[in-house]
Amino acid sequence: MKVQQTLSIGDVANGVLVGLVRGQNKAAEYLLALSSVKVPMDDEGTLLASGTVNPATKEDEAAEVIYDTPYAARWHEDQPLVDSLGRRYAGNSNFQNGRSSHYLSEPAEQNAKAIVDIIRKEAKGG
C-alpha cells in the first residue's frame, strides 16, 4: 500500500498567520480583563466601561486595548506634575480597592509570558 500526502507550504503559512491574528485578539481580550480590575473607578465607572479591544484583522496589524475617556491617558501615565495653580502632585497614585495608575502597562508586563503563550498557542493551531 502506498500513501501519498501533499503539503502546501502556502496553506500552512496561511494557517499560522490566521492563528497569529486570532491569538493577538484573544491576548488583547485577556489583557482587557486583567486591566479592568486595576483601572481607577470614578463615580460612574466611566473609565472602566470605556475599555474595549480594537481587534487585529490582518497579520501585520496589532490588536489594541483601549480605554477611551478624556482622562484615561492622564490617569494611566500618572507622573508628577505642577498644575496651573502651582499645586504639586506626586503621581503614581494608588486608587480605591487596590486599583492603580499604570492599569494597562503593569498587567501587560506582569503577565507577558501568559500573553505570549496565548498568541503562540493560537499560531500553532490551537
Check residue 93 and give its pLDDT.
65
Helix, strand, coil percentages (3-state) for the chain, rounded to 5, are 45, 10, 45
Reduced to 3 states (helix: H, G, I; strand: E, B; else coil), residue 22 is helix
Residue whose C-alpha is closest to residue 53's, from 34, 31, 71, 75? 31
Per-residue pLDDT of the chain (126 residues; tens, 9 = 90+): 777 666 677 777 787 888 999 999 999 999 999 999 999 887 788 999 999 999 999 988 999 999 998 888 877 776 666 667 776 666 666 677 778 888 899 999 999 999 999 999 999 985
For position 44, what pLDDT does the model report? 81
DSSP track, 3-14: ------HHHHHH
Find the helix packing angle between 9-36 and 112-123, rounded to 10°.
150
pLDDT of residue 83: 65
Q: What confidence score (pLDDT) does residue 79 get?
A: 66
Residue owning grid cell 480590575: 37
Q: What phi and psi, each to the nearest 5 degrees, are found at residue 85?
A: -95, 5
Q: For the whole model, what pTM was predicted?
A: 0.79
Q: Quote the pLDDT of residue 21.
A: 95
Q: Where are the domains of the chain?
A: 9-123
